[in-house]
Amino acid sequence: LLVAIDGPAGAGKSSVARALARELGFTYLDSGAMYRCVALLWLDSPEQQPAALAREARIEMREDSSRPGSTPRTILNGHDVTEQIRTPEVSEAASEAAADAGVREALVAKQRALIAAGDWVAEGRDIGTVVAPDAALKIFLTASPQERARRRAAELGADAATVLAEQMMRDERDTSREHSPLLKASGAVTLDTTGMTLADVVQRIAALARAARARY
């Protein structure tokens, strides 16, 4: 069974997806981390085509068994890049790389191969629309732009106004790009998390997932 969670940056997708996966005993897939890996390779080799880098990249997500529920480690071509892929420079390059049709094609194929077997909570921008339109449960997670910027700023230890300005540019690019723009999938349940606690959001989605499981 697959729970697909899509939505804009800062809506709480990562925290929600990770906690939900733990609650349900499913595996967590952070598709954004894969776009970030391609961005990191691209920043290192700007002369290369990002789509070629995406096709060749070996990306693994490894749970840290000593810290259950923590962020899985992202391993790129054998190197742990978990922290490196979270810089503002990589965020910017990831948004650009994600607009490339060849990059998307390569990463969607890798994501489909991963989720083909087992129970997953997969999170991103196009999981319910492109990667897995037949997911048992699709959630469109959102929150007000100010709330999203506040959360990101707290996470990064950055200034909220700066984060809000950069977020607006990335939102604009992610929603207006030609290939797989951020859209609510048909049949998706919208959840606005402004003012909701993480625990509330997780319980709401877990209840929907259990109902979906009963139907399948």
Which residues in this chain contact ligand DC in the complex, by CB under 6 A? Answer: 9, 31-32, 35-36, 94-95, 98, 124-126, 170, 174
Indicate the residue among 56 and 172 with the shorter CB distance to ligand DC: 172
Residue among 122, 154, 159, 120 at smallest CA distance from 141? 122
184 CB neighbour count, 10 Å cutoff: 16
Tell the smallest beta-carbon distance from residue 9 to ligand DC (Å): 5
Tell the smallest beta-carbon distance from residue 121 to ligand DC (Å): 13
Tell the smallest beta-carbon distance from residue 170 to ligand DC (Å): 5
Question: What does the alpha-carbon distance between residue 29 and residue 41 come to, in Å, rounded to a whole number?
Answer: 20
Question: What does the alpha-carbon distance between residue 27 and residue 43 come to, in Å, rounded to a whole number?
Answer: 29
Indicate the residue among 31 and 71 with the shorter CB distance to ligand DC: 31
Question: What does the alpha-carbon distance between residue 69 and residue 20 come to, in Å, rounded to a whole number?
Answer: 10
- Tell me if 202 sits within 8 A of 187, measured CB to CB: no
Tell the smallest beta-carbon distance from residue 214 to ligand DC (Å): 28
Tell the smallest beta-carbon distance from residue 13 to ligand DC (Å): 7
Q: At what angle do helices 145-156 and 160-176 cross, to 10 degrees?
A: 120
112 CB neighbour count, 10 Å cutoff: 12
Indicate the residue among 190 and 211 with the shorter CB distance to ligand DC: 190
Indicate the residue among 75 and 213 with the shorter CB distance to ligand DC: 75
Indicate the residue among 65 and 186 with the shorter CB distance to ligand DC: 186
